[in-house]
Structure 1
């Protein structure tokens, strides 16, 4: 069987795109290759090897966007597998810490979820181009992915119902048609013990079938008393390539976590030690069990036509219970009120798409049409309860145990279904002027059965979104663009659809004499019908709707391998946020939206070649914790570092320290304060073969 050459890139995921497809009528003339490089798709080749570079040049998001980042009319960041390994990032928050325009971990000690926002708003998460939807609350394990892609700004035309902050796509590790293996063992702070393995090879003599097996086990505490953070993850994949035109993948993965959430936080009156626990050791649990079954297939037909499809079924259980403190700024004395909260959730989700693409070239004009249908059907049940807990004396902590009974305040079933058709049309003239147009229609059905009140509600939405962009390529190294995109998402409160609109102007520079990518983007982003949580004086949390929020800002990013020994990743973001339409909050800044953030990570191989050092700094400016702008954070700089020693060519010993100076500050506040994570040291022994 003919295989793509390694220089053309090894076979990998379903959504890997080449910029090398020949123009119709000029297949034998390299100088006459199809000029619309940003949209060409060849599912058999992979341009980036993410284990070898921190600088990605292409996107893999489902064939709906330009494959070349330089020519993509959007602000994009890609965190490659090499960068993830350099920083030893194990959660989504850690992966995104050095990404411009992104604020992470603003409820850090509330460990139930990964917390992140892009450009002041929530972002929608995807896996291999398909939305995670009702599963988005699960803390993803970075060991499962070979890259994470971030597209800033609203874009429902490409991805369907989505939050306006942006899109985060996790790209799963795929089978390779080469034998490889990697295993590691690590130990770190909080008695953190972890082992992992990632192996793969071909399964038959003609090399048309390959497998990959990835797994890890973690046994750990967290930095507060009476905690745990245990998990098991395993993922198996099969890839079949009978020829250069056809590919099929099957991936099954299982995630199980047994942890404690510490969602109660810390009292307001002073700064407490992170190890102090104000909950109840006998009532502090978070158990998650999730299974995914994913299938992908692609086929390249004759005459410039390609077709591909992706399907996924997911099953989830997510149960937690904890004791929270409900403090008040006006409290006197050392006694703080507390309450119990518990939730049990089951969710099943099926989603998939069928995408076609047709490419044609006529004289100086190239055309690429991407069209398709998408479907999602999810169902979830949730049972939530609360109870009054005994107050706690913060100066003399005495635990009283788990609740004997609780009051159910929510018992409901939610069904969510979407059907969509979409079309994207790209025209390129002389590989210099690129016009992008897109349209999408979504039919959304949202129904809820309230078993507690014996009521049912149904909402149907029929929404259109549009996208337009123009890219000008000055030369092979520099491009500039202007784009307009829209987003829609169903309401979490009320009955009005949530809409976002963004206008963006940007430029990118990828020098020929250096492996680097520089980018800048200026944007104006608006979100209507904003649902927010508001902590009340009595400790309860209510939902409110804000008419319109607006963020104007600038994002800058550099990813560069300056020499064979030195690489850097850096970014800066400025956000000017404001509530522009609301009776209560008009004129206020949006919460969790700092005016300034900046980061820089550098990685250097010493001249002796067997020792590598890494150093990073993250600056987070001040931001408000609430819509009323009554409480504000302090600006902070967090330093991270790493050190690696190559014992042999295939074996190395590394150490990573996050929050090197053990800086402590408040990152979130509601009925309690929440602190950023403390210093964490992890030592890892890694062996490859």
Structure 2
């Protein structure tokens, strides 16, 4: 039987891989260990699948993603063919045989990688040109449906979720397209443990909490690396249309990512080039003068699929719910992939985004949470001034993700990105009451620009020592940023009547700003980490450790430079039952530097996060679903408090404990379900400011959500999709003193879509859909942070979308 001809390796590819690997070893990021040869028996281990019948190329792509294999396919071989799908528990070889039954094709196992072949009548093999399907990371490939089975955020190794001993949720591309979120925060509304609307429907930034702790601006990951500068006064609001999926890791996670908030990590996975044609143009319109045009184009650039591209873009304009604010966004993201063989992939990713508009600034509790003699404030109340308010945030980035598999043991990955930011803003906001409804206001002006370089280099070894299978990951990451910015805060001389506002008058300001700064800040983080995922029979163990060095230099303070270093650890265990149940337990840590000094001049220590978690995951045999239940105890220590007479103490502590449930399932053909519930008890356990025993503001104790949609499978209404969801967010305290509460709220969302080719064959590829957020227009306050810091939730918002795909 003739063997397939391997694709030629260029001199450049060989040189790059050797240079990168030698650099990693020279840096000492991965110790050289005596490793046993990887065991090819992985293909003989049975796994449960629930893959419906469909086009052969799509079915094979899904199978390869769930099985964690590399599969090379000639698009000409699969064209026009269908597969009967796969339900049940199978080894890889057997599963592929069943998927290819009746197609006249078979899969050749070439050292653990698979190549699709066409068999002739005499048993010989007829080979076409090979095109590479899928990506090096299967979790970066498109998911089929709402149920993701793998993710990289919890391990950096693209591990199955059921083998990951911590809480991970994935918002897939199909869920994003169905629910049509306009921000990352909105995309996480149906995710447990996440309060995604604590500041109302803001479009210029994402403000959210995970497990009771607010995520700092810009701390999201993009393809596993940092994307934004901490402490930069601009705002970051990544565009969901440019994402393949959103991965949420809940809990302390510094072992993998270094400096981080204790609540968790959010990893945004960029859309990647595909070797098969993908073309979409989208027009969208809605209330609040919402208008959007978008396109997403991808295809191979050569017959072999070695080169491929993707081009994604969007223009959006919409009024905010507050008067006199119009938000506009420009987004453009080109990408190109080079896959010379099934073992190597290099993808260049670029992005440009410009956002103009402003916040819907906070309102007083009197008039929102509470009634007044004048009544309640309208949701469109605007507290700014059109002569002064403006905001522009601009971001440009360029980077790459690279992976090369040397053999059955060694894999090298490197993710690199350079980003440039620019921001300019001015906004008026309420400072405090004079004699309600009269309030004082202040003007905050900010301007700056900055750059951030990030690189993460990883070496992975898959091998065995006796009966123990290892996935050993060693890495070195480095972040370096610098920005220049100015900030001025001035008080307004005129009183502001919030029930009779004037928005275009000339204002007077106190002659001396209350606060002014002009400085340059430099930040860096260097980390080395080592993690081992060990499998012994039905047991999976995860052990990891990391050491970080950080530096923060600012030229307007003394001392100018603050340096910290910290070791963090994680450990976890999972037991895999044959019926799909997987109980687990884990411990993890996080740290976040605190800038400043105590009264005696000593440097403040980093805040520390420590989490204990137990839970169970269930991946039932026979259909496509994943259910999770987690209980956690998370403590944040070394919090800083500022006391009278300039005393700074670092003894405060906040404890968050709770239970989270999540269900994602394809109940039947075309019927999808998402459900979640969160109980989160957060308490200030140590404080010198009188808040001990209190609950932090904007933290609801209970949250729940349920979403279901159904696509009609046949008959005159075939393709019609109906969906509906409801979200409940419990009451929360409105300030740190717990002096008042914000009421709970429930809202309903809906979806209706229909492919127009069911009406006329000439409209093939055209789909019309209608989305509604807060369908019944409930009027509610999303949250407050003090008595003049309350923000309304999103009013009824309806989007009509026309998609054309070919």
Match of 2:766 in 1: 651
Give the distance between the partners of 1:47 and 1:556, measured in 2 at CA: 22
Moved over 4 A (4+): 1-8, 27-35, 109-112, 402-406, 531-534, 542-546
Q: How far did residue 382 of structure 1 move?
A: 2.2
Inter-partner Cα distance in structure 2 for 1:17 and 1:441: 33
Alpha-carbon distance, 1:364 to partner: 2.4
Partner of 1:622: 731
Query: What SS is found at the alignment partner of 2:175?
Result: helix
Distance in 2 of aligned mates of 1:609 and 1:543:
66
**Matched residues in 2 for 1:33 and 1:635: separation?**
58
Q: Which residue does the alignment assign to 1:421?
A: 528
Question: Counterparts of 1:149-298 in structure 2 under 5 Å?
Answer: 149-266=247-364, 268-269=366-367, 270=371, 271-298=376-403
Q: Does 1:443 align with 2:443?
A: no
Match of 1:337 in 2: 440
Q: Shift in Å at residue 503 of structure 1?
A: 0.4
CA deviation profile, 1:173-216 (whole Å, cap 9, x unmatched):
00001111001101111111100000011112332000000000
Note the C-alpha offset of 1:513: 1.3
Note if 1:347 corresponds to 2:450: yes
The alpha carbon displacement at 1:621 in A equals: 0.6
Residue 688 of structure 1 pairs with residue 805 of structure 2? yes
1:676 equivalent among 793, 797, 804: 793
CA contact (8 A) 1:268 1:673 kept: no
Note the alpha carbon deviations across 1:368-398, whole angstroms, 9 max, x for none.
2100111010112221112222212234322
CA distance in structure 2 between the aligned counterparts of 1:211 and 1:11, rounded to whole angstroms? 24
Matched-pair contact (CA < 8 Å) for 1:326–1:337: yes
Corresponding residue for residue 326 of structure 1: 431
Partners of 2:379 and 2:412 in 1: CA distance? 53
Residue of structure 2 in register with 1:489 after alignment: 592
CA distances 1:252-309 after superposition (whole Å, capped 9, x unpaired): 1100011122324356244311122221112221101100101121111124111111
Q: Does 1:556 align with 2:661?
A: yes
Unpaired stretches in structure 2, ≥5 consecutive residues = 8-55, 72-90, 96-108, 113-133, 598-603, 758-763
CA contact (8 A) 1:9 1:46 kept: no
Alignment-derived partner of residue 394 in structure 1 = 498
What is the deviation of 1:360?
1.0
Instruction: State whether residues 386 and 406 of structure 1, in contact with CA within 8 Å, keep that contact through their aligned partners in structure 2.
Output: no
SS of equivalent residue, structure 1 residue 327? strand
8 Å contact kept, 1:110–1:264: no
For 1:442 and 1:9, locate their aligned partners in 2 and report how far apart those are by CA, in whole Å: 38
- Work out the CA distance in 1 between the residues paired with 2:680 and 2:544: 28
- 1:361-376 alignment, distance < 5 Å: 361-376=464-479
In structure 2, the partner of 1:39 is: none
* 2:41 corresponding residue in structure 1: none
Deviations 1:585-615 (A, max 9, x none): 1111122221111001111224622321111
Whether contact under 8 Å (1:492, 1:531) holds in the other structure is: no
For residues 446 and 172 of structure 2, the distance between their equivalents in structure 1, rounded to whole angstroms, comes to 35
- In the superposition, relative to structure 1, how do residues 482 and 278 fare at CA in structure 2: closer, same or farther (>3 Å)? same
SS at match of 2:495: strand
Most deviating of 199-208 and 148-157: 199-208
Q: Which residue of 1 aligns with 2:742?
A: 633
**Which residue of 2 is the match for residue 9 of structure 1?**
61
Confirm or deny: 8 A CA contact 1:268 1:672 kept in the other structure.
Answer: no
Describe the SS at the equivalent of 2:274.
coil
- 8 Å CA contact retained: 1:11, 1:46: no
User: Given the superposition, is the C-alpha separation of residues 422 and 516 from structure 1 closer, same or farther in structure 2, using an over 3 Å criterion?
Assistant: same
Q: 2:222 is matched with which residue?
A: 127
Q: Secondary structure at the match of 2:220?
A: strand
Cα distance in 1 for residues equivalent to 2:725 and 2:468:
45
Larger radius of gyration: 2
Does 2:701 align with 1:586?
no
Superposition map of 1:535-546 within 5 A: none
Single out whichever of 168-177 and 43-52 deviates more from structure 2: 43-52
Distance change >3 Å, CA 152–CA 62, structure 1 → 2: closer
Moved more, 72-81 or 105-114: 105-114
Q: Secondary structure at the match of 1:82?
A: helix
CA distance, structure 2, for counterparts of residue 502 and residue 413 of structure 1: 35
CA contact (8 A) 1:641 1:660 kept: yes
Report the Cα distance in structure 2 between the residues aligned to 1:583 and 1:686, rounded to whole angstroms: 57
User: Once the 2 structures are TM-superposed, how far is the Cα of residue 86 of structure 1 from its aligned partner?
Assistant: 0.7
Could you tell me which residue of structure 2 aligns to residue 603 of structure 1?
A: 709
RMSD, aligned CA: 3.0
- Asked whether the 8 Å contact 1:644–1:653 carries over to 2, the reply is yes
User: Secondary structure at the residue paired with 2:732?
Assistant: coil
Are 2:481 and 2:523, in contact at CA under 8 Å, matched by a contact in 1?
yes
Counterparts in 2 of 1:451-490, with a 5 A limit?
455-475=558-578, 477-490=580-593
CA displacement at 1:623 relative to structure 2? 1.2
In 2, Cα distance between equivalents of 1:33 and 1:368 = 21
Determine the structure 2 residue equivalent to 1:316: 421
**Do the aligned partners of 1:9 and 1:45 also contact (CA within 8 Å) in 2?**
no
The 2-side partners of 1:147 and 1:532 are apart by: 38
| Partner SS for 2:319 | coil
What is the total number of aligned residue pairs between the two structures? 664
* Cα distance in structure 1, aligned partners of 2:678 and 2:531: 30
Q: Confirm or deny: 8 A CA contact 2:543 2:571 kept in the other structure.
A: yes
Q: Is the 8 A contact 1:55 1:515 kept in 2?
A: yes
406-415 or 650-659, larger mean C-alpha shift:
406-415
Assess if the C-alpha contact under 8 Å between 1:267 and 1:325 holds in 2: no
| Aligned-residue offset at 1:17 | 9.0
SS at match of 2:448: strand
Q: 1:63 to 1:620 in 2, by over 3 A?
A: closer
Q: 1:396 to 1:43 in 2, by over 3 A?
A: closer
| Contact in 1 for aligned 2:320/2:360 (Cα 8 Å) | no
| Cα separation, 2, equivalents of 1:258 and 1:273 | 24
Match of 1:539 in 2: none
The separation in 2 between residues aligned to 1:552 and 1:60, in whole angstroms, is 25
TM-score (norm 2): 0.78
In structure 2, relative to structure 1, the CA distance for the partners of 1:308 and 1:394 (3 Å cut) is closer
Question: What's the TM-score once normalised by structure 1's chain length?
Answer: 0.90
CA contact (8 A) 2:140 2:244 kept: no
**How many angstroms does 1:545 deviate by?**
6.1
Q: Matched residues in 2 for 1:93 and 1:625: separation?
A: 21
* 1:524 equivalent in structure 2: 633
Partners in 2 of 1:624 and 1:199 — Cα distance? 46
Distance 1:545 1:95, change over 3 A: farther
The structure-2 alpha-carbon separation of the partners of 1:455 and 1:248, relative to structure 1 and needing over 3 Å to count, comes to: same
Q: 1:72 to 1:434 in 2, by over 3 A?
A: same
Partner of 2:778: 663
In the alignment, structure 1 residue 434 sits paired with structure 2 residue 526: no
The question of whether the paired residues in 1 share the 8 Å contact of 2:659 and 2:679 is answered with yes
User: In 2, Cα distance between the equivalents of 1:661 and 1:19?
Assistant: 44
What is the rounded CA distance, in whole Å, between the counterparts of 1:368 and 1:221 in structure 2?
A: 50
Corresponding residue for residue 43 of structure 2: none
